[in-house]
């Protein structure tokens, strides 16, 4: 593996070529990996060694992140490459950077008084944990919240006056549970009207309730089967509030036009690319004997796969050109979600009955790509935002 040099441009190239190597190795174990229902520590050790974690650390802190305009393509291309090898690991990896960014540590370099010093200290601490090799994740979602964080009913009671709280509530979809050292979540602080963001230290815990967290629903997804996106209940679990708390931080974040969900799109694009090229190879020998229905369906696969590429490229280009990145990535996310399901269904029909078997990779990929529509913002919320945004100037 290529080693990090501390020169961001060189390091980006090293990470990408390390990830290519890892994805190739993962792809060679595809049949076994697609049946996995759990994450393996050695895979995350490899990712750590690849330097990938440093995409969540700004270049001035020794990482490779240089802002959304250039950084989004870099992160997306890395995740898309990783997804060529293993869908679940790529999705868990996507959470690492996206949660550090969405919490504001990457996009708010300086907080106003009285939070300036504490925010600065917390940012340094977060980046330090990453440099030391810790994975970050999120267990934000709550049953019945419809993917909307502002609906959180979890509670946070102050435990001291230095940002420490005790958090109680039920959470689900905590992708990467067991591999991530720190997880970000939302809860309503005592006496306040809006939920805020908290950090949970998830290291070395037994999930039996004795340390304030209990595993109540081990992940049983139809797709993304090995993401360990468990459901947990927290009972007075120690939590650290963001050092720039409250409405003011949320208002700043709301004003920043961020490409939310772009990394999820990248993962699914990677899966579609691998599925299409696998199917093309498989069909090569019989393509002149294909029936007219199969030929027409394959032509549609080509058209839709082309549209997926255009959506991905268009999303990144709009970000690089400084155009409204939030709306464009949302449109790309929903377009790719619908197209990728359609592509995998068509491929299965063309390949024939064998594709329905668990010996074939296509059924696994079909379920994996279905995750995109459920990922934040899930279908209903996403379409509402797209509809409402139509009349925004
Ligand atoms: C593979 C995978 C991995 C994921 N990983 C993570 C992760 O790491 N961390 C994380 O935090 N989340 C994660 N998620 C969760 C994801 O981000 C969404 O929060 C989740 O899928 C929301 O689902 P839902 O809205 O359909 O479900 P629910 O909240 O159960 O809602 C079900 C339906 O009820 C309706 N509804 C519920 N509440 C409302 C409301 N308030 N207003 C209007 N309608 C409502 C909606 O029609 C909604 O579709 C993951 C999801 C998947 C599929």
Phi, psi of 137 (to 5 degrees): -150, -170
Q: Judge whether residue 143 has pLDDT over 80.
A: yes
Of the pLDDT bands very low, low, confident and very high (cuts 50, 70, 90), residue 393 is: low
Is residue 176 a part of any domain in this protein? yes
151 lines ligand 1 (CB under 6 A): yes
146 lines ligand 1 (CB under 6 A): yes
> pLDDT per residue over 10-29, tens digit each?
999 999 999 999 999 999 99
pLDDT value of residue 228? 98
229 lines ligand 1 (CB under 6 A): yes
Same domain, 357 and 377: yes
* Residue at a domain's end among 219, 246, 273: 246
Contact 302, 327 (CB under 8 A): no
Pocket test for ligand 1, best of 228, 375, 379, 384 (most atoms within 8 A of CB): 375
Q: How far is the CA of 376 from the centre of ligand 1 (A)?
A: 7
Same domain, 379 and 264: yes
* Residue at a domain's end among 246, 274, 293: 246
* Residue with CA nearest ligand 1 atom 6: 173
Same domain, 72 and 175: no
Residue 372 Cα distances to 33, 164, 340, angstroms: 20, 34, 9
Same domain, 296 and 337: yes
Q: How far is the CA of 162 from the centre of ligand 1 (A)?
A: 32
Same domain, 20 and 122: yes
pLDDT value of residue 121? 98
374 lines ligand 1 (CB under 6 A): yes
Same domain, 93 and 148: no
Q: Judge whether residue 62 has pLDDT over 70.
A: yes
CATH assignment at residue 183? 2.40.110.10
Whole-number Å distance between alpha carbons of 351 and 370: 19
pLDDT value of residue 150? 87
Q: How far is the CA of 54 from the centre of ligand 1 (A)?
A: 29
With a pLDDT cut of 90, the percent of the chain lying above it is 95
143 lines ligand 1 (CB under 6 A): yes
Sign of dihedral through CA atoms 139, 143, 144, 146? positive
Q: How far is the CA of 377 from the centre of ligand 1 (A)?
A: 8
pLDDT value of residue 160? 85
Is residue 252 a part of any domain in this protein? no
Q: Is 67 exposed, middle or buried (0-12, 13-18, 19+ CB in 10 A)?
A: exposed
Give the atom of ligand 1 at the shortest distance from the alpha carbon of 151. Answer: 41
140 lines ligand 1 (CB under 6 A): yes
Pocket test for ligand 1, best of 145, 148, 231 (most atoms within 8 A of CB): 145
Give the atom of ligand 1 at the shortest distance from the alpha carbon of 176. Answer: 8
205 versus 147: the higher-pLDDT residue is 205
Same domain, 189 and 127: no
Is residue 2 a part of any domain in this protein? no
* Residue with CA nearest ligand 1 atom 44: 146
* Residue at a domain's end among 131, 159, 192: 131
Is residue 236 a part of any domain in this protein? yes
Whole-number Å distance between alpha carbons of 113 and 103: 19
CATH assignment at residue 125? 1.10.540.10
Same domain, 204 and 279: no
CATH assignment at residue 315? 1.20.140.10
227 lines ligand 1 (CB under 6 A): yes
| Helix (H), strand (E) at residue 138 | strand 136-138
Q: How far is the CA of 221 from the centre of ligand 1 (A)?
A: 13
Q: How far is the CA of 146 from the centre of ligand 1 (A)?
A: 5
Same domain, 140 and 210: yes
pLDDT value of residue 161? 80
Query: What is the number of domains present in the chain?
Result: 3
Query: Taking phi first (over 0 means left), then psi (-120 to 50 degrees means alpha), and beta for anything else, what does residue 48 get?
Result: alpha
Q: Which residues contact 5 (CB under 8 A, 6 or more apart)?
A: 11, 14
* Residue with CA nearest ligand 1 atom 21: 374
The long-range contacts involving 181-184, CB below 8 angstroms and separated by at least 24 positions, are 181/129, 181/134, 181/135, 181/136, 182/129, 182/134, 182/136, 182/137, 183/99, 183/136, 183/137, 183/138, 183/139, 184/99, 184/103, 184/136, 184/137, 184/138, 184/139, 184/140
Same domain, 289 and 197: no
Tokens encoding 214: 């209990």
Phi, psi of 148 (to 5 degrees): -105, 110
Is residue 26 a part of any domain in this protein? yes
Whole-number Å distance between alpha carbons of 301 and 226: 27
Of the pLDDT bands very low, low, confident and very high (cuts 50, 70, 90), residue 331 is: very high
145 lines ligand 1 (CB under 6 A): yes
Q: How far is the CA of 141 from the centre of ligand 1 (A)?
A: 6
* Residue with CA nearest ligand 1 atom 18: 147
Same domain, 84 and 189: no
Same domain, 295 and 181: no
Is residue 177 a part of any domain in this protein? yes
pLDDT value of residue 144? 86
200 lines ligand 1 (CB under 6 A): no
Is residue 3 a part of any domain in this protein? no
Question: Across the chain, what does the average pLDDT equal?
Answer: 96
Tokens encoding 306: 């082309």
Q: Tell me which residue range forms the domain holding 214.
A: 136-246
Interval 244-270 mean pLDDT: 94
Is residue 301 a part of any domain in this protein? yes
Contact 240, 164 (CB under 8 A): yes
pLDDT value of residue 86? 98
């Amino acid at each position: 593996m290529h080693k990090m040099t501390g020169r961001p441009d060189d390091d980006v190239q090293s990470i990408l070529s390390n990830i290519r190597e890892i994805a190739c190795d993962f792809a060679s174990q595809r049949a076994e990996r697609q049946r996995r229902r759990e994450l393996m520590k050695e895979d995350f050790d490899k990712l750590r060694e690849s330097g990938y974690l440093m995409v969540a650390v700004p270049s001035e802190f020794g990482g490779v992140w240089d802002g959304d305009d250039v950084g989004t393509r870099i992160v997306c291309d890395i995740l898309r490459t990783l997804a060529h090898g293993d869908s679940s690991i790529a999705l868990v990896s996507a959470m690492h950077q996206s949660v550090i960014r969405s919490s504001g540590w990457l996009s708010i370099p300086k907080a106003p008084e009285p939070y300036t010093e504490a925010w600065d200290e917390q940012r340094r601490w977060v980046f330090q944990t990453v440099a030391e090799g810790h994975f970050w994740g999120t267990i934000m979602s709550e049953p019945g919240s419809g993917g909307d964080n502002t609906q959180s009913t979890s509670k946070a009671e102050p435990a001291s006056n230095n940002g420490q709280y005790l958090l109680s509530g039920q959470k689900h979809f905590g992708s990467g549970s067991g591999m991530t050292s720190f997880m970000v979540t939302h809860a309503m602080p005592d006496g306040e009207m809006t939920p805020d963001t908290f950090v949970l230290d998830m290291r070395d815990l037994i999930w039996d309730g004795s340390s304030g967290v209990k595993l109540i629903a081990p992940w049983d997804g139809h797709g993304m089967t090995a993401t360990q996106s468990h459901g947990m209940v927290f009972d007075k679990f120690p939590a650290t509030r963001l050092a720039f708390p409250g409405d003011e931080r949320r208002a700043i974040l709301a004003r920043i036009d961020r490409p939310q969900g772009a990394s999820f799109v990248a993962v699914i694009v990677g899966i579609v690319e691998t599925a299409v090229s696998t199917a093309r190879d498989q069909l090569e020998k019989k393509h002149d004997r294909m029936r007219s229905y199969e030929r027409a369906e394959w032509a549609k696969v080509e058209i839709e796969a082309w549209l997926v590429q255009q959506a991905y490229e268009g999303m990144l280009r709009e970000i690089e050109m400084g155009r409204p990145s939030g709306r464009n990535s949302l449109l790309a996310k929903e377009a790719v979600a619908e197209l990728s399901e359609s592509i995998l269904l068509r491929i299965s029909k063309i390949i024939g009955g064998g594709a329905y078997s668990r010996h074939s990779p296509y059924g696994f990929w079909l379920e994996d790509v279905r995750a995109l529509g459920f990922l934040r913002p899930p279908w209903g919320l996403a379409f509402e935002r797209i509809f409402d945004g139509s009349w925004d100037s």
